A and B are shown apart, each in its own frame.
Chain A
């Protein structure tokens, strides 16, 4: 039992289960930032639900003390939507990797984004499949060598997660780097604060299988968004997502806007229909009188 009087510290969110990622994995840093962000918001352990799919990063909910659902490959978002839409009182946070969310689960992302389901999605993007030992993913740089693409990925383009999210109507889009923990803490806190669907892409290098997009590469590549970046401007956000300076990657909050969430839209419909949990069910039966 958690005492309700004492403030929760970051470490209070950790479960007893030891994280099992490879040494040096960026996901450790993400886990730390998640704990920090949870503590900053004092998210209640018993009404926070962490949902994930399948992959290295999707193991994250086990390492937290909150409620959780380790779903099937690619299905974290619609499961999380089911939790949130049936129980809007809960804080629902989704974790997963680039393969889980943009390959096998790629069909769900646009709809969760455009419906503006009030979830926070933290994607740990390492440009590779780690759990299955090194295959190219949708975010891999074309030409990347993987176990099923030994002569290099023949795909013409990779997915730009930020542009994808922006295009499909996500109302909060940000990018962080596991090697810049302070900024990531701040981004995650903002994402949790946001009402609506928030997408945080965290570049979280895989030391074991990705020999191209390494920690050193990202360290050199990451630059903050310009100070005058207008995060209310969708076109500017898309431009920064598509066109960072050569050899560079932007981090920070690209875009944020407040729009009605799906929960709010559903509530409005119910209200119009004079929703009543205790409605006399005879009305629903007698509707079929001949």
Chain B
């Protein structure tokens, strides 16, 4: 074996540069990716299966009935905030937000179920084993925009 210099075992200032670079990249990507809705048009859910668009609908359509998608041997049930598996539970998802979520999946990772509810344009739920993506498009571009005025 060749003789190698021993690595430094205590954090250095140069490490801080690496950490800052990663943090800056994360923040830049966050601003780019999460800058809000696509600003324009009504909020629409787009479901892609294996890279091909399979369904497109207004999220509220799922209030009446959830939709089920099967791909790669796995089945996903997408709902609008209602827990169809256990109707005795609160009608709103655990986070209290209204929006789309994967209420059931028989995939091994369950990441799609744990992702929770998505409610803004640009957000998505990805199920890698099933190769299914549920993505929201459109919706209000300004997050401060008033949703509704009551009274």
A and B are interacting partners: no
